[in-house]
Chains A and B, each alone.
Chain A
Amino acid sequence: MKKVFPFEYTRFEKARIIGARALQIAMGAPVLIETNSKNPLDIAKDEFERGVIPITVRRRRDAFVWLQRHDLF
């Protein structure tokens, strides 16, 4: 069985994105979603869940990433 892994951020990348975004919000960047929360970290998490954060990760060319898997037997 062949399985192609969907693109997914690792937990480290996720932490980096949410952290950077929370810091931006804390320093006065405009919030991209409707929310009642006042906590920048919660807002950043919410934004990440909805996929609206305009931040991408530049992976090293030789970084380890799951691409696909063939189950042989």
Chain B
Amino acid sequence: MLMYGRIKVRDTVRVPPDKLGENLDEIIEELLWENFEGRIDKEYGMIVCIESIEEIGEGKIIEGDGGIYFDVVFNAITFKPVMQEVVEGVVSEIVEFGAFVSLGPLDGLLHMSQITDDYLNYDEKSKRLIGKESRRTIEEGDIVRVRIVALSLREKEPEKSKIGLTMRQPWLGAMKWIQEDKEKLESGG
């Protein structure tokens, strides 16, 4: 699985003057959190957390600014969804046009048409999607196995990143359906 990775990053952090009196290591860690958490990079994915700070360089003072600039080397954990990857997630929300699946730090969209071969009806009262013929249902909290089929990570606006998912392939779908299929197969064969 290529979903999570650990990267080593070198970058410059500006420490504002009013934060100077306190413990420098703690402040830099805090600032790194503020600056990097949730940031998305095309190549490495989304930075989920700062694991450890490896090195804090000498501070530099630049003309016209009271802040001090530190070169910092740190380890970060990244989340990078990959095209065609099969992942498991939890259904976080059911809407009229499909379901949102939480893959961890990001949510993916599972469109109505990509859930089953069956026609699906949206039941507004119970917030469920119900298959017309198979009577299979999917609701919030279900664990599903999905494949990533569309990926658009936005570096500038991380909130607008989109992940498209599908379940219309053999052995993909809600875990309860897969379990049913398995039992059917075992009893039949």
Contacting pair B66 A24 (CB below 8 A): yes
For residue A28, which residues in chain B have a CB less than 8 angstroms away from its CB?
16-18
For residue B16, which residues in chain A have a CB less than 8 angstroms away from its CB?
27-28
Sample 22 A-B pairs with CB under 8 A, ordered by A number: A20-B61, A20-B66, A23-B17, A23-B65, A23-B66, A24-B17, A24-B20, A24-B66, A25-B17, A26-B66, A27-B16, A27-B66, A27-B67, A28-B16, A28-B17, A28-B18, A29-B17, A29-B20, A29-B66, A30-B20, A30-B21, A55-B61
Question: Which residues of A2-25 have CB atoms within 8 Å of chain B's CB atoms?
Answer: 20, 23-25
For residue A27, which residues in chain B have a CB less than 8 angstroms away from its CB?
16-18, 66-67
Interface residue total, chain A, C-beta cutoff 8 A? 10
Known: A28-B17, A29-B21, A30-B20. 13 other contacts (CB 8 A): A23-B17, A24-B17, A24-B20, A26-B66, A27-B16, A27-B17, A27-B67, A28-B16, A28-B18, A29-B17, A29-B18, A29-B66, A30-B21
CB nearest to A25 among chain B residues: B17
For residue B67, which residues in chain A have a CB less than 8 angstroms away from its CB?
27
For residue B65, which residues in chain A have a CB less than 8 angstroms away from its CB?
23
For residue B18, which residues in chain A have a CB less than 8 angstroms away from its CB?
27-29
Q: Contact flags (1/0) for B11-45 with A, using CB distance below 8 Å?
A: 00000111011000000000000000000000000
Q: Contact flags (1/0) for A14-51 with B, using CB distance below 8 Å?
A: 00000010011111111000000000000000000000
CB nearest to B68 among chain A residues: A24
A20 to chain B, nearest CB (A): 5
For residue B21, which residues in chain A have a CB less than 8 angstroms away from its CB?
29-30
For residue A30, which residues in chain B have a CB less than 8 angstroms away from its CB?
20-21
Interchain residue pairs A-B with the least CB separation, the first 9? A28-B18, A30-B21, A29-B17, A27-B66, A24-B17, A27-B17, A23-B66, A24-B66, A29-B20
CB nearest to A20 among chain B residues: B61
A25 to chain B, nearest CB (A): 8
For residue A24, which residues in chain B have a CB less than 8 angstroms away from its CB?
17, 20, 66
* B17, B18, B21 pick with most chain A CB within 10 angstroms: B17
For residue B20, which residues in chain A have a CB less than 8 angstroms away from its CB?
24, 29-30
Q: How far is the CA of A26 from the CA of B17 in the complex (A)?
A: 9
B66 to chain A, nearest CB (A): 4
